[in-house]
Structure 1
């Protein structure tokens, strides 16, 4: 079968034009930016399961995104929301997907597997290379609160994994002109959200990856504070 190269080029050009037109048609905002997995490969994460925002001792904000039924953990440096970058991708040997429960130390996150009630500790001491550790002492326990960096208050007894939240759909709306609010984005199937109060950034997770909602004024004010600290 002979391939018509001119036809393929024409189809490709049409597809690019369509994407460009769609991007150009999106409403613009002077105060908000929305970045989608479909337009930023760093944010794309097929089959994303859960995420956790972690601040290391170097002042970096790192977003850990779980995918592939828990077997893959991607680390994104989201310190600067205008220049998010992927810094590592780690393969983990896990029995199932899991949820991040809470911090249980300076560099440790408690996780709970979705199949069964088993837990484990995700060590982030080397934050670009997360490592799984046993947490058998916390099996069948529900962590109620941390006691500083070295203690836990837990309730004993058989626990059942919490039901996963139903996916939600959200609209990002610019209300700068309250009489004419503008819908900037529709984001469907959101299963989790976390935020970075320093930069005002909101991260929304669905099965396609991470959608980032940026607040430009907060970013500017945060950068000014950092610059003042350096002077």
Structure 2
């Protein structure tokens, strides 16, 4: 292959990459104020397009943020690295039922238990479990054998809890439509509508809001908060 052909191929790859990057940027919804960016499920990794029932945000000891999403009625758990809201990446999408076994059904993330676990409640069976997050990228679901109410637990140091024997009372989430509005101008502008949102969570550090609806995951970014966070991180790393 001569140099001219190699150069042409290289140029073609560069142009293709530029077109893809432009298409991705145009797919996102930007407010006129340049403050808000809405990333719909199609702008995110493919697994983000799967609807779910519950999600939660976790930060590891290294300062990275991970979003855990229950999907397929409890049969699958997807984990996304959302440390940089502009570059959300899939970490793992794992089945929660092994070969020859059946998933216990849809579940909700109830609350953190200590620093490295999240309480899980299964709606149909009314059983509880814990998602072990000691390895944030490789979470492990462990069932709780005793009938307890960890939702009302009291910590006993870093490794113990005081719990009641009353079973957890599940309150189903009410699905709502959310509208993302830009009010920076003289006339309020509707940027997007997110349908049937059952759960949402906000990362106060980056200002990012995650909404889990019927079309999957939607991300609303606040660029000024993101930039302030990045600047603080840069200054911290420089010291």
Q: TM-score, normalised by structure 1?
A: 0.82
Give 1:125 shift. Answer: 1.4
User: Aligned pairs, how many?
Assistant: 209
**Distance (whole Å) between structure 2 residues aligned to residue 42 and residue 58 of structure 1:** 26
The 3 A distance-change label for structure 1 pair 120 and 46 is: same
Give 1:41 shift. Answer: 3.4
Q: Which residue of 1 aligns with 2:60?
A: 56
The 3 A distance-change label for structure 1 pair 27 and 33 is: closer
The 3 A distance-change label for structure 1 pair 103 and 146 is: farther
Q: Alpha carbon RMSD of aligned pairs, Å?
A: 2.4
1:181 aligns with 2:188: yes
The 3 A distance-change label for structure 1 pair 26 and 143 is: closer
1:164 aligns with 2:183: no
Give 1:52 shift. Answer: 1.2
Q: Which residue of 2 aligns with 1:129?
A: 138
The 3 A distance-change label for structure 1 pair 211 and 110 is: same
Q: Which residue of 2 aligns with 1:40?
A: 44
**Distance (whole Å) between structure 2 residues aligned to residue 132 and residue 98 of structure 1:** 12
Pick from 65, 77, 101 the counterpart of residue 110 of structure 2: 101
Q: Which residue of 1 aligns with 2:16?
A: none
Q: TM-score, normalised by structure 2?
A: 0.79
**Distance (whole Å) between structure 1 residues aligned to residue 168 and residue 88 of structure 2:** 37
Superposed counterparts of 1:1-231, under 5 Å: 28-42=32-46, 44-93=48-97, 94-137=103-146, 139-147=147-155, 149-160=158-169, 162-177=170-185, 179-231=186-238
**Distance (whole Å) between structure 1 residues aligned to residue 235 and residue 218 of structure 2:** 30
SS of equivalent to 2:119: strand
**5+ long unaligned stretches in structure 2:** 1-22, 98-102
2:29–2:39 Cα contact (<8 Å) kept: no
1:45–1:67 Cα contact (<8 Å) kept: no
SS of equivalent to 1:44: helix
The 3 A distance-change label for structure 1 pair 217 and 96 is: same
